Structure 1
């Protein structure tokens, strides 16, 4: 376990110093209160904080990224007189550059107190046992902004190196690399090329590394391959809760009009207690430390509600049973019951917190809105001149104006409807600028948000009929029933991979894409080119003993043995995914963001192929996206360049008084 390897060998009381990235990593694994109790942590400090006073025999454990400010922080802390800590330990998330290593070596006093130095190779965060994130929100703008093409090279090289780290941790050697070749295919090809080079470099330096499989596949796509899933409401419990309640959403403070919480993986709510109805603030933790949340997070919202009702009924029955028999129990059984009491109280608190989360989610839920999105996403109207698609949107807007929906539509939700309409078959050759502005006027969306919709062209998705991409554009497949590979067990009929209500017609493209590539590897080579890696390593039968990669502070030499210090990061609860035996793996990396609704599909696909094929399906991305995040990133993609001219030959951004004239 990662935390055990860092804090376990350090004896006595400790002070844990973290930077921004490692703070998010630790918080995703364990709560800080549990960390303090289990590992004798006196305090947890941020890397920019100044140590106050002398802490006697306390040891300082620095877990941080290998950057110049972080290394200087350690040197400055241990250069103080008197020194605030007795010992120092440094754990880095990746390889320390030689320049920083030399700088640390020259600091004599801090080096004397340095008792441990290790590179852990774990620059990513796990969101589930089948999904990871590189936590790089800035990548979206760099990947799709045409003005920043010159800045992509170094970033793509870093991403490729991190993907190699993940393959090494799984010990699955990718023999095939496929990438999304349309839209921003050049950037995807760059990542694939850098990955191949980094993997070959690792193989040469670690010729004795024990690979479990050499038949794995890496698929590199960007968010442009599916721009419908990020704007649609997914009925998965986690996706819907984070969408409606604004949990862990990046964006401006003025956009949080109906969000009651703005804390990572937490939902803040208030309850009334006592006779005077005093309000008390409480928090629901939506991470894997909450075992009930880990059970319902991938259920659809209806199943989650039924599951929580059954848990509440079981808890009430247990309490009634124990209350009736407590008088007849002897001291031994009473003692056993008292030991179980804290665990029952903890479960009771979790049930109560999640009940508030589900209740707040359902209060924001409007079936009419979901059905309208589903119809637009699956293109019910295939005739360009038929106005049925917009009629559905206008009917929804009328209900919103009359207050018939559970919650009023926000600006972002109206923009999402406009994007879905613009992507529908009713606009098979694109919209005119005049029509798009009139649709925005009907939705009561100001012209300043126009670039959110038109910026989709930078992702390879044309919207206006002026776009030059229509000639070579191929729309993504919409109906999941029409995909070429059908389930053999159902007589050739396709079935939904997840259990959803009947009115849910849309299924994310990533599911069909992976399923098609696993069952028919030679399909879609025109859109997803193939790079084969030759000279595969030999799979060795015997498992060799692990040894860590240690770096000597007396010399600049790195001592690397057969299996270097790559570590498993799946620490919390049941995260033993990388230790499970699979014949191969299919890793999908989405540059630009992965949605919460797509994360659950990795587990569904793994369960689907865990029989004879034994394929482990893992989804990864530069970050995990909410719909609001996606809208904000589109808005900020290229705000300074007016791309389109209207019928009056004036740029769109210059027509701020358009609605005033109306």
Structure 2
């Protein structure tokens, strides 16, 4: 942990093995879900229009609706987008009724000015429907097992005593191999490792005997895969979020959010997070600007002149962790939380990265540094 004197900033550096669970789970917020389930290349979403040709939508900072919705749960997104479409349609004096992609096309052909206004909304209507279709077909049942394994308890708060009993229905269902691999990994993570005999059975069941690296290579990140009497794995102490209002299939909170909240509240354990420069007496104190002191200033202006927390994840960051930076920034107001990494991970991309560790080149190529300032979202 680094501190930067007068600027009232902290830099926290963590490695990917710090939290292997978050980038593996099926996340149900809009951005994370879209990049996990839909084939989005270079931030470009391609979809089939009703009139035939394929269309593209750029998911970027220029898309205000994307910025507004990307960190919301898919249930909220699926509810909000049709409402936005109806509001615009109503402003054009169209009769009330169910708005579908098909009749939107007819409306857009008749109203040139309306066409430009609707393009962004229509793309997101397609994307949200695409996400929900994948969710209904394959993801919904998976999510319950994943959440139970990750959290260690079910929706009612009853502790999971037999993780294999939770995993077994996933293995018996005809899910695709990557989804089964993700479930097996969550099972292993929940136990802080398993026996060699049990692991071999799991690998045989998923039928990845020739691709064991998807699982075994996690040990290179310091994540226990095989239990060993000489290995002691200490899981981080988690914040109690049992009273928080969450969706049943989104109960897991990335570990990095606990760290972010502890950091801005000056509660980090210095034994686990030693300072590499002199620690200020009150990191989030006099340097922070509160809304009470400047009523006319926007919360974003206050954050820019107040404290700043920078979190760098070595080995890639997930979209759920990016969301956490945004959420903490919005909650704290006087502190801007920035998260960055060498690259952004999707579950599929992470599994491929893990597998590739077996044949990593002696001289790895330079990776692009990715910085995400969630306060601007």
Asked if the contact 1:308–1:355 (Cα under 8 Å) also holds between the matched residues in 2, the reply is yes
1:433 matched to 2:199? The reply is no
| Alpha-carbon distance change, 533 to 387 in structure 1, aligned in 2, over 3 angstroms | closer
Find 1:606's aligned residue among 305, 325, 329. Answer: 329
Equivalent of 2:339 in 619, 632, 638? 619
Q: How many Å separate the matches in 1 of 2:300 and 2:16? A: 26
Deviation at 1:241, TM superposition (A): 0.6
How much has 1:293 moved relative to structure 2?
1.5
Distance of 1:481 and 1:235 partners within structure 2: 21
Q: Which residue of 2 aligns with 1:239?
A: 32
Q: CA deviation at 1:223?
A: 0.9
Measured in 2, the distance between the counterparts of 1:448 and 1:505 equals 34
Judge conservation of contact 2:60–2:66 (CA < 8 Å) in 1.
yes
Relative distance call for 1:246 and 1:500 in structure 2 (3 A) is farther
Residue in structure 2 matched with residue 476 of structure 1 by the alignment: 236
Residue 462 in structure 1 maps to residue 224 in structure 2: yes
Select the residue among 269, 279, 292 that pairs with 2:47.
269
Shift of residue 371, structure 1, vs aligned partner? 0.8
Please state if 1:177 is matched with 2:27: no
Residue deviations 1:315-357 (CA, integer Å, cap 9, x gap): 22122269xxxxxxxxxxxxxxxxxx76532221222211111
Partner secondary structure for residue 452 of structure 1: helix
Counterpart Cα distance in 1 of 2:303 and 2:227: 51
- CA drift at 1:214: 2.9
Instruction: After TM superposition, give the deviation of residue 411 of structure 1 in Å.
Output: 2.1
**1:302 equivalent in structure 2:** 75
Distance 1:321 1:466, change over 3 A: closer
Of 588, 593, 597, 2:320 maps to 597
The separation in 2 between residues aligned to 1:218 and 1:578, in whole angstroms, is: 21
2: CA distance, partners of 1:282 / 1:480: 44
**Aligned residue in 2 for 1:518:** 264
Picking from 581, 585, 592, the partner of 2:304 is 581
* CA distance in structure 1 between the partners assigned to 2:153 and 2:279 by the alignment: 46
The residue aligned with 1:225 is 18
Partner residue, 2:272: 527
Q: How far does residue 287 in structure 1 lie from its aligned partner after superposition?
A: 1.3
What count of residue pairs does the alignment treat as equivalent? 321
Distance (Å, rounded) in 2 between the aligned partners of 1:640 and 1:625 = 18
Cα distance in 2, alignment partners of residues 306 and 377 from structure 1: 28
RMSD: 2.9
How big is each residue's C-alpha offset from its partner over 1:11-37, in whole Å with a ceiling of 9 and x where there is no partner?
Answer: xxxxxxxxxxxxxxxxxxxxxxxxxxx
Query: Are 1:410 and 2:176 an aligned pair?
Result: yes
**Structure 2 Cα separation of the partners of residues 632 and 447 of structure 1:** 16
State the partner residue of 2:293.
none
2:16/2:316 contact within 8 Å kept:
yes
**Cα distance change on mapping 1:467 and 1:266 into 2, 3 Å:** farther
Deviates more, 1:432-441 or 1:388-397: 388-397
Q: Given the alignment of the two structures, is residue 351 of structure 1 paired with residue 121 of structure 2, yes or no?
A: yes
Is 1:363 paired with 2:156?
no
Are 1:506 and 2:268 matched, yes or no?
no
1:634-649 alignment to 2 at 5 Å? 634-639=354-359
Confirm or deny: 8 A CA contact 1:380 1:389 kept in the other structure: no
Contact 1:376 1:421 in 2 (8 A): yes
Unpaired runs of 5+ residues, structure 1, are 1-175, 179-198, 200-210, 248-262, 274-278, 323-340, 402-408, 483-493, 536-575, 642-662
Task: Give distance in 1, aligned partners of 2:269 and 2:44.
Answer: 41
Question: What are the Cα deviations for residues 375-403 of structure 1, in whole angstroms up to 9, with x where unaligned?
Answer: 1111239xxxx9732222221333x33xx
Write the distance in 2 (CA, Å) between the matches of 1:281 and 1:514.
42
Residue 395 (str. 1) matches residue 159 (str. 2): no
Task: State how 1:96-111 maps to structure 2 within 5 Å.
Answer: none
Contact preservation (8 Å) 1:284, 1:357: no
Secondary structure of 1:456's match?
helix
Q: Distance in 1 between matches of 2:45 and 2:31?
A: 12
Of structures 1 and 2, the larger Rg is shown by 1
